[in-house]
Amino acid sequence: MAVVKFEEFVPMFQVDGDINFWAEENPLKGESLTLKADQKYIVKLNWTQLGPLCYALSGKWICNIYFEKMGPQETTFTPQKKVDFIPVPGNEYKVEMEFFGKALGQGVYRVVAELLLESNSGIPMPVAAFADLGWGHVYYAIDM
């Protein structure tokens, strides 16, 4: 589990939450993950917005998971989901982002999750949070 770190640019508003990495129905633990290419993975983002400024904000939460491949032929894979902002303090959000290891390709990746708030017109708001999910190693294996 990674704790969401929130940058407090906006007074009277904050985000509290966690992000977990799952292999199908099993939670993965630790800062170094070994991922089989043919397996389905889920990143579960859970957060709560707090503070009276919630009533004055609107827009969409942008949820990004960054997989940055290390070494030669560096590549990135960035699944994204958008969630409507609910203007109520204490509102809880639960977002699941699914992918297969083969979408990444074999290699070692740095994994970071990001939450951003954008206005209804698509302009970034001064609200940002992130969580470092550690390292992941994707490999291909044959069944024995």
CATH architecture of 2-139: Distorted Sandwich (2.70)
- Provide the whole-model pTM: 0.84
Residue 19: burial class (beta carbons within 10 Å; 0-12, 13-18, 19+): buried
Q: Can you give the residue ranges of every domain in the chain?
A: 2-139
33, 73 Cβ separation under 8 angstroms: no
DSSP state of 103: G
Residue 76: burial class (beta carbons within 10 Å; 0-12, 13-18, 19+): exposed
What pLDDT digit, counting tens, does each position of 57-105 carry? 999 999 999 999 988 877 788 899 999 999 999 999 999 999 988 888 8
